[in-house]
Structures are given as structure tokens and as C-alpha cells.
């Protein structure tokens, strides 16, 4: 299936124009503000030609006949007041236009972030396991901010810049068409000159953002695993790696920073050189044509009016390149493989205390030509207590992840009470099948949140779950009880306590199927015995799958499957397997 790009400049502009009313209003404000700005230089000929040189342009005559009569000082102050009013009103309109475009850009980038989060929410676990969290975070923050700046500031400036150049061009043509043509032909050459430089600057920005991503990912990983790093006495090595990435980031930032600035300064130099040429040509026009001194000064003013817009157009090339680079990086998130979306017709879990699971001809691999599981067939009846045993690396945990819908597979089928996995939403499967991992993850939050994960339960239900999970004594030692913070990854709790928190969480969710994947490996034998004794009534009418190495964990299993190198090599009741001298199960006894 071909990937359709979701972050492109064309797509951003399309989103911009979904706010038609706001865009039209913003552009109307921009037109009015620009019109007021381009009127101001026209007052220069009035002040110079009419008041100082005695050359009539009709403005002072109009004021004298319709408004008031004054001396030179009065007319100068009147024009000054008029100019200040125009500038003030133009500034207010410019602020309003900026507010309009900033509001639009924030809505667009908010929608983009929500879209990215929705995509991340549905990516496959296989994709997630290869993902660098810091890199993705960088894209959702740094690159989206680049897009935000492109929409809110750059596009609105571009609109004003184009309007200013357009209005200025019209007035220049009216003042002296030959000089105007000369100016209007040479100005685009400056813009054209900068386009080629902008492409290389965009590549430099892309490299800088990539360096930010690598540094952020390395640092995030180091901080997340800091406890393990310190336990291994490897702080110096891992923080040195972050320092190396920081140095690479510095080099890329310096490279982009000075080259980008140099390119902009070179563009400014070209423009200012052109401006000096224009001034010289204007003086010649006064000497050899009917261009007045006042109009010449007006042309100078329009040249300065055009400086800002020309710079904005020049800078637009650089910002556009940066926005394209940001979009390219954001697209890498959208290219991540998602879990399949299914239209569900039937829910086999409804009205059931437990369900049966049948695995038919299941083959799974992370990479082509290297199977992790091969032709797995299992029949687990409703309410049955089943164990899966095998040496480390035999595929037990991979199989448990597949049963709960974490890993997609393309060969074989899993039936839940006779309904194929292909006809069920993964959310339906996970809502009813609870996998308890050997190393459960806890949030840096309260004990209550780690039990409920934000869902509302009665205090009695929580207390009962804690009691069954053998956590009463642990709760007594917590200063704030359920409101005690457990620290990053539950660092304030021991490994066995974290496992029991995960089991209490399972009890609260009350699933139809429970999968224990080495879920009590950190418990001593006596605590494990008490735990499973307390769980007996709760698990009595549920389907239970237990993956373990210790015989004590699976002693109550009704049926056992033996995995070896991803293949079911044996199966049967505990009694049947014990009668086989060479079976893996008999070696556990």
C-alpha cells in the first residue's frame, strides 16, 4: 500500500484555506494596512515641492480651500499628524492580521499534533520497539514549531510583502515609468539570486534538526535507563556518548547558523548595492528629465519601503526550505506501520466469564526468512488452566504477545470462541485478555493511578485487589497510602512488589483471559504460594495461560505445551508429560 504524504507545503496551504472567512478577513486587513503604508511617501513631494520649492501638486491648494489656511509651519504639522495617524492605524491593522494568522496556525499545528498522536496511538508494537522516543518527541515539538512559524509569521508576511511591492510598483510607474521599470526588473533578480542559496540552507537545517533528534534520543535513553547505568557503573561511558552527540549538534548548529546568516547578509548586500545604484539613477533622472526633487525623495522612500518586503520574500525561501525539511521528518512518523483496522461484526467475549482460544498454523517472524514461531497449533478450552514451558528464547513471550494482539502475523489464525482474530478489533481482544509481563511498567505517579490507570473504581474494589495481590503489608508501609508516588518506573517498589501491583491491576480489570508471563519470577516461593492461593477463587472461572520456568508456578495446570525453537515439540497433561523421560517438563521436576 502506497503511503500518502500528510505533511506537505501544498497540504498546509490547503489547510490554511479551510479557514476561508478568517483568511479573507486577514487579507482584507493586510490590503488596508499596506495601502496606508504606501500612501505615506507621497507626502514627501508635498512637503518638499509645494512648501519649499513652490511646485504645485494640488494638495496644499485642496487643504486651503476645504479644510484650513495656514503658513508653512501649520501645513507641516498637519501633514506630520496625518502621517503619524496613518502609521498608527496601519500598525493596529498589522497586529490584527498577525493575530488572525497566528490563531489559524495554532489550530493547524494543534490538528497536526493530534493527528500524529492518533497515528502513534495505533502504530504496531513491533514498530514501537524499534522507535527512539527522543527522536519522535523532537519531531512533535521542534519540527511542528517550524511549521507553526512558517504558517503564522512567514505566510502572513509574504502576503503583506507582495501587496507592498505591488502597490509600490503601481505608484512608481505613475511617478516615473522608465525608472520604475529599471527598479522592478532588477529587484526580482535579487530574489532569484537567493533561491539557489535557500536550497542548500534548507539541507543544513535538516541536518541540524537530525542532530537535535539524535542528541535528544540519546539523552532520553540514558536518563530512562539511568538506574541500570549506575548499577553497571557506566555513567562515564553513556554520558560521554551524549556529550559526543551534543558536540555534533554544536557543529551542525554552527554550520547552519553562520551559513544561513551569511546567505541572508549576502542577499542584503546585493539589495543595498542595487539601492545605491537606484539612487544614482534617480539623481540623473532629476537632472535630465522632468522628475522633481520631491518625487525623487519619494522614490527613495519607496525603495526603503520595498526593503522590508524584499527581505521577507528572500527570507521566505529559507523558511520554506526549513518547513519542507520539517515536513519530511514529520512524514517519517506517518510512515510508521499501524495496527490493522477491523470492522467488527461480532464480539465473542460478551456475556462470558471465560473464552476458548484456538491457535491454527501460526507462523511469525520479525524479519523475512527467520521464523520465531513456526506452525503453532493449540487448543485452549474455555476456563482451562494451561501452561506454556520451554527454554529461554523458545518463543513463549512472543506467543503471549501475539495472543493479546501486540504483534501482527500473516500466516495462520487465532480463534477466540470461534471468531477469527481477523474479524476482531485489537482493542476488543486487549480489553478482555490481560497480559501480565515479567517486568511490568509503572508510571511516575501515585499507587492509585498505577492500579486504576485513570479508570474509576470503588475503594472497596481497590482494597480487595490489593488484598488478593498480597500487598496489604506494602500499603501499610506507604506514608500516603494510595496517594504515595512510586517514582520513575516504580523505583520505590521492589521487583516483586511491582509484579504484585501489575497483578492487582489485572484483578481490577476483571478480564476473561489471564496470561501470566513469568509474572511472579521476582517473588519468593512462599509469597508466590500465598498469592496463587488468594487468586484461586478469582481465576476459577477464567481461562488462564501461564508461562514460567518454575514448577511451582505451573503445578495447577491442566494442560501443558512445550516450546522449543519456536515449535510445539510436546503437549499433554502434567501426568502424561511426566511419564516421558526426555520431555522438557520432566526435566523441571
Q: Which domain holds residue 500?
A: 357-588
Question: What residues contact residue 121 under an 8 Å CB cut-off, 6+ apart?
Answer: none
Question: Would you say residue 132 has pLDDT above 60?
Answer: yes
Cell 496556525 -> residue: 105
CA 488/CA 226 separation, integer angstroms? 10
What is the band of 531 on the pLDDT scale with cuts at 50, 70, 90?
A: very high
Q: Tell me: the pLDDT tens digits for 282-318?
A: 888 888 888 888 888 888 788 777 777 877 777 787 7
Same domain, 20 and 80: yes
CB 15 within 8 A of CB 111: yes
- Asked whether residue 1 carries a pLDDT value surpassing 50, the answer given is no
Residues 318, 264 within the same domain:
yes
Residue 200's pLDDT band (cuts 50, 70, 90): low
Q: Do 257 and 391 fall within a single domain? A: no
* 281 contacts 182 by C-beta, under 8 angstroms: yes
Predicted confidence band at 475 (pLDDT cuts at 50, 70, 90)?
A: very high
Q: Is the dihedral of CA 210, 213, 216, 220 positive or negative?
A: negative
Residue 32 corresponds to which cell in the numbers above?
Answer: 488596508
| CB contact at 8 A, 509 and 456 | no
Q: Identify the band that residue 3 occupies on the pLDDT scale cut at 50, 70 and 90.
A: very low
What element of type H or E holds 507? helix 495-509
Are residues 367 and 330 part of one domain? no
Assess whether 61 and 162 both reside in one domain. yes
pTM exceeding the 0.75 threshold for the entire prediction: no
Q: Are 254 and 363 in a shared domain?
A: no
* 378 and 326 both lie in a single domain: no
As a whole-number percent, the residues of the chain with pLDDT over 70 amount to: 93
Q: Tell whether the model's pLDDT for residue 355 goes beyond 90.
A: yes
* The predicted structure's pLDDT at residue 65: 85
Closest residue by Cα to residue 496 from 516, 529, 471, 514: 471
For the chain, give the percent of residues with pLDDT over 90.
Answer: 26
Model confidence at 447, in pLDDT bands (50, 70, 90)?
Answer: very high
Q: 126 and 243 in one domain? A: yes
∠ CA 21-26-31, nearest 5°, is 125
Do 151 and 264 lie in one domain? The reply is: yes
Assess if residue 340 is contained within a domain: no
**Cβ-count burial of 510 within 10 angstroms (0-12 exposed, 13-18 middle, 19+ buried)?**
middle
pLDDT of 257 strictly over 50: yes
How large is the average pLDDT for residues 272-289?
A: 81
User: Once rounded to an integer, what is the mean pLDDT over residues 522-527?
Assistant: 87
User: What's the mean pLDDT when you consider all of the chain?
Assistant: 84
CATH of the domain at 182: 1.20.1560.10
Tally of structural domains, the chain: 2
* Residue 100 lies inside a defined structural domain of this protein: yes
Q: Rounded to a whole number, what is the largest CA-CA distance in the chain?
A: 122
Residue-wise pLDDT tens digits, 448-460: 999 998 889 999 9
Q: Which helix (H) or strand (E) holds 546?
A: strand 543-547
Q: Same domain for 204 and 112? A: yes
Same domain flag for 19 and 162: yes
Q: Are residues 316 and 276 in the same domain?
A: yes
The CATH number covering residue 400 comes to 3.40.50.300
Inside any domain, residue 352: no
Output the CA–CA distances (angstroms, integers) from residue 545 to 192, 354, 449, 516, 560, in the order listed.
69, 12, 26, 6, 10
What was the pLDDT predicted at 581? 62
E strand or H helix that includes residue 200: helix 177-224
Residues 558 and 386 sit within 8 Å (Cβ to Cβ): yes
**Residue 232: all three cell numbers together:** 553497571
Asked whether residue 550 carries a pLDDT value surpassing 70, the answer given is: no
Other CB atoms within a 10 A radius of the CB of residue 520 amount to 24
Amino acid at each position: 500500500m502506497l503511503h500518502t504524504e500528510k505533511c506537505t507545503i501544498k497540504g498546509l496551504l490547503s489547510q490554511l484555506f479551510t479557514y476561508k472567512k478568517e483568511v479573507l478577513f486577514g487579507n482584507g486587513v493586510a490590503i488596508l494596512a499596506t495601502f496606508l503604508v504606501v500612501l505615506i511617501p507621497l507626502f514627501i513631494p508635498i512637503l518638499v515641492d509645494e512648501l519649499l520649492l513652490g511646485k504645485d501638486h494640488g494638495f496644499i491648494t485642496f487643504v486651503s480651500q476645504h479644510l484650513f489656511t495656514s503658513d508653512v509651519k501649520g501645513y507641516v504639522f498637519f501633514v506630520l499628524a496625518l502621517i503619524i495617524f496613518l502609521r498608527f492605524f496601519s500598525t493596529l491593522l498589522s497586529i490584527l492580521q498577525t493575530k488572525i494568522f497566528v490563531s489559524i496556525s495554532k489550530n493547524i499545528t494543534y490538528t497536526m499534533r493530534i493527528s500524529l498522536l492518533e497515528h502513534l496511538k495505533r502504530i504496531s508494537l513491533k514498530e514501537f520497539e524499534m522507535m527512539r522516543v527522543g527522536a519522535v518527541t523532537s519531531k512533535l515539538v521542534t519540527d511542528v514549531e517550524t511549521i507553526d512559524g512558517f504558517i503564522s509569521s512567514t505566510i502572513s508576511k509574504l502576503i503583506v510583502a507582495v501587496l507592498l511591492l505591488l502597490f509600490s510598483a503601481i505608484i512608481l510607474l505613475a511617478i516615473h515609468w522608465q525608472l520604475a521599470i529599471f527598479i522592478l526588473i532588477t529587484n526580482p533578480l535579487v530574489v532569484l539570486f537567493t533561491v539557489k542559496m535557500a536550497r542548500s540552507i534548507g539541507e543544513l537545517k535538516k541536518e541540524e534538526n537530525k542532530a537535535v533528534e539524535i542528541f535528544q534520543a540519546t539523552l532520553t535513553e540514558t536518563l530512562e535507563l539511568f538506574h541500570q547505568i549506575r548499577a553497571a557503573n557506566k555513567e562515564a561511558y553513556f554520558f560521554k556518548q551524549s556529550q559526543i552527540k551534543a558536540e555534533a549538534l554544536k557543529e551542525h548548529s554552527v554550520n547552519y547558523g553562520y551559513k544561513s546568516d551569511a546567505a541572508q547578509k549576502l542577499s542584503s548586500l546585493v539589495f543595498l548595492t542595487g539601492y545605491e545604484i537606484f539612487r544614482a539613477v534617480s539623481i540623473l533622472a532629476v537632472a535630465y528629465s522632468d522628475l522633481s526633487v520631491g518625487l525623487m525623495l519619494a522614490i527613495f522612500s519607496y525603495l526603503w519601503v520595498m526593503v522590508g518586503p524584499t527581505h521577507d520574500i528572500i527570507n521566505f525561501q529559507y523558511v520554506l526550505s526549513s518547513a519542507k525539511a520539517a515536513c519530511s521528518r514529520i512524514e517519517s512518523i506517518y510512515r510508521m506501520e499501524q495496527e490493522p483496522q477491523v470492522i467488527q461484526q461480532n464480539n465473542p467475549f460478551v456475556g462470558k466469564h471465560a473464552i476458548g482460544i484456538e491457535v491454527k498454523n501460526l507462523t511469525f517472524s520479525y524479519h523475512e526468512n527467520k521464523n520465531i514461531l513456526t506452525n503453532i497449533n493449540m487448543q485452549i478450552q474455555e476456563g482451562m488452566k494451561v501452561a506454556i514451558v520451554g527454554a529461554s528464547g523458545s518463543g513463549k513471550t512472543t506467543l503471549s504477545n501475539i495472543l493479546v494482539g501486540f504483534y501482527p502475523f500473516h500466516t495462520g489464525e487465532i480463534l477466540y470462541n470461534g471468531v477469527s482474530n481477523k474479524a476482531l478489533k485489537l482493542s476488543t481482544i486487549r480489553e478482555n485478555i490481560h497480559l501480565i509481563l515479567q517486568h511490568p511498567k509503572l508510571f511516575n505517579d501515585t499507587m492509585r493511578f498505577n492500579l486504576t490507570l485513570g479508570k474509576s473504581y470503588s475503594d472497596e474494589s481497590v482494597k480487595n485487589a490489593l488484598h488478593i495481590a498480597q500487598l496489604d503489608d506494602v500499603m501499610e508501609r506507604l506514608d500516603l497510602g494510595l496517594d504515595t508516588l512510586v517514582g520513575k518506573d516504580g523505583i520505590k517498589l521492589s521487583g516483586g512488589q511491582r509484579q504484585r501491583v501489575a497483578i492487582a491491576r489485572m484483578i481490577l480489570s476483571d478480564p476473561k483471559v489471564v496470561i501470566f508471563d513469568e509474572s511472579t519470577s521476582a517473588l519468593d516461593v512462599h509469597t508466590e504460594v500465598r498469592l496463587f492461593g488468594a487468586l484461586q477463587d478469582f481465576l476459577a472461572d477464567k481461562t488462564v495461560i501461564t508461562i514460567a520456568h518454575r514448577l511451582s508456578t505451573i503445578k495447577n495446570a491442566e494442560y501443558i505445551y512445550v516450546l522449543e525453537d519456536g515449535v510445539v515439540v510436546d503437549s499433554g497433561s502434567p501426568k502424561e508429560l511426566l511419564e516421558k523421560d526426555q520431555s522438557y517438563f520432566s526435566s523441571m521436576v
